[in-house]
Chains A and B, each alone.
Chain A
Amino acid sequence: MEYIVIIIAAIFVNNIVLHQFLGICPFLGVSSRVSTSVGMSGAVMFVMTLATTVTWLIQTYILEPYSLMFLQTIAFILIIASLVQMVEIILKKVSPPLYQALGIFLPLITTNCAILGVALLTIQYDYSLLEGVVFAIANAIGFGLALLLFSGIREHLDLMDVPKGMRGVPIALVAAGILAMAFMGFAGLV
């Protein structure tokens, strides 16, 4: 039951993009086409789950027992950066088609604050390893959902007659605001 609560809360109520404001850069950057959003969401889900697992293990078995908590930020970002590199190399070797699909998004992910954000939140909420993994997957789904919805909206926005000054990013941000308003309807669900 508590896993279902975590999942619903992460996807709808506290949506990572529209409520927590993590991963805004890829949200605005790659959301102009539906196909690229799918690739990006896939890559994020992969790395987010892996990164949360590894950072949780490092936090619990190395940083906490030896009171190295002040190294948390440095340790986590290095883990994520090397993890992304490793995933890229392994994918290239093991599954070229998957690499073709996700490859160009992987380098962008190191500076995607959603990954580091979810890793830090998992520690902050005192989740167990399994809860952390569920939380990461749910957040990745939430990210994918927001990205997909938004890229659909942006494809339509291209065809709209928008006032000159508002074209491009400004109108996209206002549309994102309205989407965030729609997601507020889920508040109180859990």
Chain B
Amino acid sequence: MNQLQNFTKGFLKDNAVFVQFLGLCPTLAVTTSAINGLGMGLATTFVLLMSNLVVSLIKNLIPEKVRIPSFIVIIASFVTITDLVMAGYAPALHEQLGIFIPLIVVNCLVLGRAEAFASRRGTGSAVVDGLGMGLGFALALTILGGVREILGSGSIFGISFISGDGVLLFILPPGAFIVLGYLIAVVNKMNKTT
């Protein structure tokens, strides 16, 4: 697999949300608007990129038996950094995302990539993989957030194009499940035809 394929696989073919169903908790919870989805996606991308980098750098130093706890500590450190930086520089977004920032630690996507990819490959591949999977995750969250925002409040990225309310249901929890269900069906179809 060349680096370009390695980078682009996260967008459609192996998309974390639409194909692998990883990290669905933050996906469903924070995507009430496109901007929240994007913020969460980028925060996760940063953690994924850095943890992939560090794990692939020190993979030979970690004893086989304690590798999962070691990965968790590495991931938790970067999550803490993200948490504090966001609290300092983007307090409004930090407030919106709430406990889902610390919960990036238990996002199966991050641990999954560390275990399945970064601990077996070279540093270069691991970084490209982290970036690709992370951006694919961010893309999925932004699309989901965008669709919910368009249907639910008639705006996109905060720019309103109808007056009055949209279909409020799509901003509320049930809307998250329903929109994601249909998006997965669409992506399934796209992956089958290509």
User: Interface of A with B (CB < 8 Å)?
Assistant: 18-25, 28, 70-74, 76-78, 81, 110-113, 116-117, 120-121, 124, 165-166, 169-174, 176-178, 180-181, 184
3 nearest A-B residue pairs (beta carbon): A177-B177, A173-B181, A21-B29
Q: Which residues of A contact B89 (CB under 8 A)?
A: none
CB of B79 closer than 8 Å to a CB of A = yes
Residue of A nearest to B107 (CB): A113
**B95-121 contact mask (Cβ, 8 Å, vs A): 1 or 0:** 000010011011110010000000000
Contact (Cβ within 8 A) A177 B103: no
DSSP majority for the B interface?
Answer: helix
Alpha-carbon gap, A8 to B21, bound state (A): 31
Number of A-B contacts (CB under 8 A): 111
Q: Is the beta-carbon distance between A180 and B174 smaller than 8 angstroms?
A: yes
Binary A-proximity of B145-185 (CB < 8 A = 1, otherwise 0): 00000000000000000000000010011111110111011
Query: What residues of A have a CB within 8 angstroms of the CB of B25 in the complex?
Result: 21-25, 113
Query: Is B80 among interface residues, defined by CB-CB distance under 8 A?
Result: yes
**B188 interface residue per 8 A CB criterion:** yes
Known contacts being A117-B103, A120-B102, is A176 close to B111, with CB within 8 Å? no
Chain B 46-70, CB-CB to A under 8 Å as 1, else 0, gives: 0000000000000000000000110
Given contacts A170-B184, A181-B174, contact A74 B21 (CB under 8 A): no
Is A170 a contact of B69 with CB atoms below 8 Å?
no
Could you list which residues of chain B lie within 8 angstroms of chain A, going by C-beta atoms? 21-22, 24-26, 28-29, 68-69, 72-73, 76-77, 79-80, 83-84, 99, 102-103, 105-108, 111, 169, 172-178, 180-182, 184-185, 188-189
- Beyond A28-B21, A180-B177, whether A165 also contacts B102 by CB under 8 A is no
In contact, A116 and B102 (Cβ under 8 angstroms): yes
CA distance A61 to B189 in the complex (A): 54
Evaluate contact between A176 and B177: CB separation under 8 angstroms: yes
Residues of B within 8 A of A121 (CB): 99
Complex Cα gap A92–B123 (Å): 40
Taking A77-B76, A111-B106, A173-B184 as given, write out 9 further A-B residue pairs in contact, using a Cβ cutoff of 8 Å, ordered by the A residue number: A25-B22, A25-B24, A25-B108, A73-B102, A77-B72, A78-B69, A81-B69, A170-B181, A170-B188
Residues of chain B within 8 A (CB-CB) of A173 are 177-178, 180-181, 184
For B22, the chain A residues whose CB sits under 8 A away are 25
